[in-house]
Amino acid sequence: MISIDTWIKGARPRTLPAAIAPVLVATALAKSHANIGRAALALLVSLALQIAVNYSNDYSDGVRGTDADRVGPVRLVGSGLASAAAVKRAALYSFTVAGLAGLALAWLSSWWLLAVGASAIFAAWTYTGGKNPYGYKGLGEISVFLFFGVVATVGSYFVQTEKITMKSFIVSIPMGALSCAILAVNNIRDLKKDAAVGKRTLAVRLGEKGSRRFFFALLLSAHIAALLTLSPWSLITLLLLPITFGLGRSVTSGIEARALIPVLAKTGQLQLLFSGLLATSLWLSK
DSSP string, 227-249: HTT--GGGGGGGGGHHHHHHHHH
Rounded-to-integer distance, Cα 268 and Cα 252, Å: 18
Domain boundaries, given as residue ranges, for the chain: 4-284
Rounded-to-integer distance, Cα 101 and Cα 40, Å: 9
Q: What is the pTM of this model?
A: 0.93
Amino acid 174: pLDDT: 97
Rounded-to-integer distance, Cα 227 and Cα 52, Å: 33
DSSP code string of 262-280:
HHHHHHHHHHHHHHHHHHH
33-50 core/surface letters (b: 16 or more CB in 10 A; e: else): ebbeebbebbbbbbbbbb
Amino acid 198: pLDDT: 83
CATH of domain 4-284: 1.10.600
CA atoms within 13 A on the CB side of 46: 30
Task: From first to last of the 286 residues of the chain, give the pLDDT tens digit.
Answer: 788 888 998 899 988 999 999 999 999 999 989 999 999 999 999 999 999 999 999 999 888 877 666 666 778 998 888 999 999 999 999 999 999 999 999 999 999 999 999 999 999 999 988 888 998 999 999 999 999 999 999 999 999 999 999 999 999 999 999 999 999 999 999 898 888 888 899 999 999 999 999 999 999 999 999 999 989 999 999 999 999 999 999 999 999 888 998 999 999 999 999 999 999 999 998 7
99-129 core/surface letters (b: 16 or more CB in 10 A; e: else): bebbbbbbeebeeebeebbeebbebbbbbbb
90 close to 53: Cβ distance less than 8 angstroms: no
Amino acid 68: pLDDT: 61
Residue 191 backbone dihedrals phi, psi, to 5 degrees: -50, -55
